[in-house]
Structure 1
């Protein structure tokens, strides 16, 4: 059979060689073609009477970098239905499941860094061998992208390392060296790079059991599973509290990862457990947070030297004007009778590093003449929109463009990454909804958030700031 992203070659010793080589890419990344072709090659392997097993390796200098971020960032704007998102998300999962249940042993030879979907491919193989090169990194960093592992990582990893270690690796996006991976059982062997293929072939020729441990009747997850297990129940409570404190409910991915880890591991059937993960993953691909984080923190950041950007006069002016507007909004709300500590707490819950009153130079803690019970959502919106409007004014005056404004706002003063930055905040709502929000806050709460006529005119022509993805 002929493939676009990999090759299948039976060898004389009865071991098939599956080499991954995504065309047109300097490193292997997951593409829809690779998603599908891995399943096709798994079925080819199962039907090939000339081989007893297979080895999987990369034809490039590294193993696999994970998903294609330029493709993933388009998911949100594609406005896919939940059913379509689920269907597209399960292709890779089904292909890896076909590989690990093909009835023949499959070893993977990891010659370089394997992240995200690359490591998930390795986890679906029956034996994992890595080159003992200290520069190699193995990990599942999807949470740092606003996603979760979507190719079985939230289910296979805890069945290998136990739930506690898997939770740490997934929630923190840790990247392990081969030595660290070997220590926790993430890989089975670490050998010199020149010995990878030979070692993998030798393992397959030893006629090992072609069944994953979790598919063997009576398998139990190391360290226990299920909320009826008191130790696991306490772990879940602890991690839930930690995620709430660290992410303040603004990031859906860590919560989704916890649900996968705990709900999926209570299910004995791997296929049903994988369905839990696919539901969670596909929902995240339809959420703007993943789009915002990937676009700003990875795609827009590529090639930009952050230190130089932040020292640029335009970024300094952007920062000063945004923070001045933020502080003024906080002072105005405090003067209108809103409890100062409440303002600060809501700023913190929104993911902002410092409260506006903490940044204010004047004493804002004097008692106001009257007390206001403004809704928390209104306080939050006023604090965010004040900064964003100031950024839009900088854009209008051609001081800074949206891409660099997003980068400068996040890396310069900690504007929350889940928004993607000050301009992505607008882009997520759409210009017209953002303008309507500012007008509503101004009329109802006296927020003094008046969008300029330039911004209103622009919204009539185009509702978004960033161009639609190709």
Structure 2
């Protein structure tokens, strides 16, 4: 095999013993992501592997950077557009096809994780037959896509379900959390931990020697999803309730629901069909406002400076105080606390807001609960903290990114993209926000009066 150019995002080298090493090393980026350079380079690398298959003994996939791969190209995903759905579907299916070609190459393929493998990076590793992680304290693995309003889209729901079973797969996917190498080993996401890259490479070579023609379990006749698929009687009594609880926790967010649907529906069909199901759900959620807001909030967090830390703390404090005060005010005006907390959860406040309040502070001024307009309650849980954050922003001349990050840190619903983005993207924009705030102010007091700059 001829070595690929050093300018490629995936550099291939083949040694005299027939071991091809694919090194992820995008020269244009400090981290490896599944951008267009990756797509083109990986496709060319797999083409070459297939061409030279008879002369190869195995493949090692690793990285030339401190991390393995950070996953999807968020800069591209933030521009997702329903009018380009066919193009986006084709691009995603192309990435997955190349991973599937790697998986069914007929040669042992080992991932050496010299650094963190997140999202699509982990999905690339899952397409390999064996995964070895270096014992590095900063190394993390996981699928954080749901936290960005998405779901694993490069085969993660398909392979994890077939490796771990439905419940274990969802417990990894839905929280959007990452784990260290030891936890990943316990979960069965990786197969081995090595002291360093040299030891990991030596273990990879040994595994290749011992496993000349590995086949994934789901490519063998008679394969069954561990623990049963979505229609298995063993899950019939537990899965609906478990999914309902997860739905309740997720609120109105589409990504967790889509991820659960992809896992459960995908478990009922073969891997190829499951991959198509995953693609459809991924492309759909990538077009939602929640995904755009969460991805924008991710970039906001990268832009904030340590110099604004004190000012951001002020924003966080007023956001926390104002939503709690608003919930208490609603109850003391006669609204049922359970209804107020349900409104807070519908607004996106995880777990509601009244759990921290002494029940003695929740005595209504009226003798009986009154019927409060639920839509107003939901908006009050958003407008009160958003306006409080805007006042601090104006007083301290903060940028929108700082306000968004600080408000989300205080619990402001992340799917809005933060308090500043919520004001700007409210239906009708800033004028629409000011108009709704004026209506709320007429009913509930001057704290809802929009700032002069918003009118």
Provide the TM-score with structure 2 as the length reference.
0.84
Residue number in structure 1 paired with 2:28: 24
Q: Which moved more, 1:106-115 or 1:192-201?
A: 192-201
| TM-aligned CA deviation for residue 404 of structure 1 | 1.8
Residue number in structure 1 paired with 2:48: 44
Instruction: Report 1:354-433 matches (<5 A).
Output: 354-355=353-354, 365-367=364-366, 371-372=370-371, 374=373, 376-397=374-395, 399-412=397-410, 414-429=411-426, 430-433=429-432
Match of 2:259 among 251, 257, 260: 257
Residue number in structure 2 paired with 1:172: 175
> For residues 389 and 221 of structure 2, what CA distance do their matches in structure 1 show?
59
| TM-aligned CA deviation for residue 132 of structure 1 | 4.1
Is the 2:21–2:60 Cα contact (8 Å) retained in structure 1?
yes
Equivalenced residue count is 444
Deviations 1:254-295 (A, max 9, x none): 222211211111112x12101111112222221222333333
Residue number in structure 2 paired with 1:434: 433
Q: 1:442 to 1:85 in 2, by over 3 A?
A: farther
| Residue 350 (1) aligns with residue 351 (2) | no
> For residues 14 and 157 of structure 1, what CA distance do their matches in structure 2 show?
30
| TM-aligned CA deviation for residue 433 of structure 1 | 3.5
Q: 1:287 to 1:201 in 2, by over 3 A?
A: same
| Residue 126 (1) aligns with residue 129 (2) | yes
Q: 1:137 to 1:439 in 2, by over 3 A?
A: same
Q: 1:107 to 1:369 in 2, by over 3 A?
A: closer
Q: 1:36 to 1:321 in 2, by over 3 A?
A: closer
Residue number in structure 1 paired with 2:59: 54
> For residues 118 and 347 of structure 1, what CA distance do their matches in structure 2 show?
35
Deviations 1:295-351 (A, max 9, x none): 33x432337578x85644x7537744884587468637864x654542343124423
| TM-aligned CA deviation for residue 120 of structure 1 | 0.8
Residue number in structure 2 paired with 1:101: 104
> For residues 124 and 409 of structure 1, what CA distance do their matches in structure 2 show?
38
| Residue 451 (1) aligns with residue 450 (2) | yes
> For residues 137 and 324 of structure 2, what CA distance do their matches in structure 1 show?
46
Residue number in structure 2 paired with 1:460: none
| Residue 83 (1) aligns with residue 77 (2) | no
| TM-aligned CA deviation for residue 38 of structure 1 | 1.8
Q: 1:446 to 1:366 in 2, by over 3 A?
A: closer
Deviations 1:200-230 (A, max 9, x none): 2343345622432212221112222122x23
| Residue 211 (1) aligns with residue 215 (2) | yes
> For residues 299 and 397 of structure 2, what CA distance do their matches in structure 1 show?
22
Instruction: Report 1:188-203 matches (<5 A).
Output: 188-193=191-196, 194-203=198-207
Secondary structure (helix, strand or coil) at the match of 2:302 reads coil
| Residue 136 (1) aligns with residue 139 (2) | yes
> For residues 214 and 231 of structure 1, what CA distance do their matches in structure 2 show?
20
> For residues 349 and 88 of structure 1, what CA distance do their matches in structure 2 show?
35
Q: 1:395 to 1:157 in 2, by over 3 A?
A: same
| TM-aligned CA deviation for residue 380 of structure 1 | 0.7
Q: Which moved more, 1:396-405 or 1:271-280?
A: 396-405
Residue number in structure 1 paired with 2:151: 148
> For residues 135 and 316 of structure 2, what CA distance do their matches in structure 1 show?
47
Q: Which moved more, 1:415-424 or 1:149-158?
A: 415-424
Structure 2 residue ranges without an equivalent (≥5): none
| TM-aligned CA deviation for residue 239 of structure 1 | 2.9
> For residues 318 and 292 of structure 1, what CA distance do their matches in structure 2 show?
19
Residue number in structure 2 paired with 1:275: 276
Q: 1:132 to 1:386 in 2, by over 3 A?
A: closer
| TM-aligned CA deviation for residue 122 of structure 1 | 0.8
Residue number in structure 1 paired with 2:185: 182
Is the 1:15–1:53 Cα contact (8 Å) retained in structure 2?
yes
> For residues 269 and 248 of structure 2, what CA distance do their matches in structure 1 show?
28
Q: 1:43 to 1:453 in 2, by over 3 A?
A: same
Is the 1:326–1:386 Cα contact (8 Å) retained in structure 2?
no
> For residues 435 and 86 of structure 1, what CA distance do their matches in structure 2 show?
38
> For residues 278 and 272 of structure 1, what CA distance do their matches in structure 2 show?
10
Match of 1:230 among 229, 233, 238: 233
Is the 2:8–2:27 Cα contact (8 Å) retained in structure 1?
yes
Q: 1:320 to 1:200 in 2, by over 3 A?
A: closer
Q: 1:317 to 1:79 in 2, by over 3 A?
A: same
